[in-house]
């Protein structure tokens, strides 16, 4: 009698889906070097002709905090600002005039959006 692997395993072999892989390194210097090289390649990193991406693995608490910023960051992008998340979960916003503003909570970011929605604070003071 012949058995075949379940469809999910066969599908995974074709490479049609991305799969996360956790790599644990003995020395943090190796990890830093890999992350630095991955950033330098910016989307051009490949393994046997297949593009790969490398990300740091954050604790679940940090991941949840960073996830809370997604909606706020999307709205900031739509309004012409350039938001960026800093570690662990702080928001750095590049204003339209090039100045920068750092916010340490989602509620601060929502207040910033509300102030800019009404035209107040469009040139808010920067703190770098």
pLDDT at residue number 22 = 77
What's the pLDDT at 14?
A: 54
Band (17; pLDDT cuts 50, 70, 90): low
Spatial distance between the Cα atoms of 72 and 27, rounded to a whole number of angstroms? 36
Sign of the dihedral through C-alpha 100, 65, 70, 17: positive
The full set of domain ranges for the chain reads: 19-57, 60-117
Average pLDDT score over residue span 19-28 = 80
Radius of gyration of the chain (CA): 21
What are 64-118's pLDDT values in tens digits?
888 888 889 898 888 888 888 887 788 888 888 888 999 888 899 899 988 887 5
CA 81 to mean position of chain CA atoms: 17
**Architecture of the domain spanning 60-117:** 2-Layer Sandwich (3.30)
| CB-based contact 47:69 (threshold 8 Å) | no
Q: What percent of the chain has pLDDT over 70?
A: 77
pTM of whole model > 0.85? no
């Amino acid at each position: 009698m012949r058995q075949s692997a379940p469809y999910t395993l066969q599908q995974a072999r074709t490479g049609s889906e991305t799969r996360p892989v956790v790599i644990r390194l003995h020395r943090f210097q190796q990890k830093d070097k890999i992350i630095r090289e991955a950033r330098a390649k910016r989307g051009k990193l490949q393994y046997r002709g297949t593009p790969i991406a490398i990300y740091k693995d954050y604790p679940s608490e940090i991941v949840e905090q960073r996830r809370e910023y997604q909606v706020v960051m999307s709205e900031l992008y739509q309004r012409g600002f350039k938001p960026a998340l800093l570690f662990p979960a702080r928001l750095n916003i590049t204003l339209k005039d090039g100045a920068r503003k750092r916010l340490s909570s989602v509620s601060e970011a929502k207040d910033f959006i509300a102030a800019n929605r009404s035209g107040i604070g469009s040139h808010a003071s920067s703190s770098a």
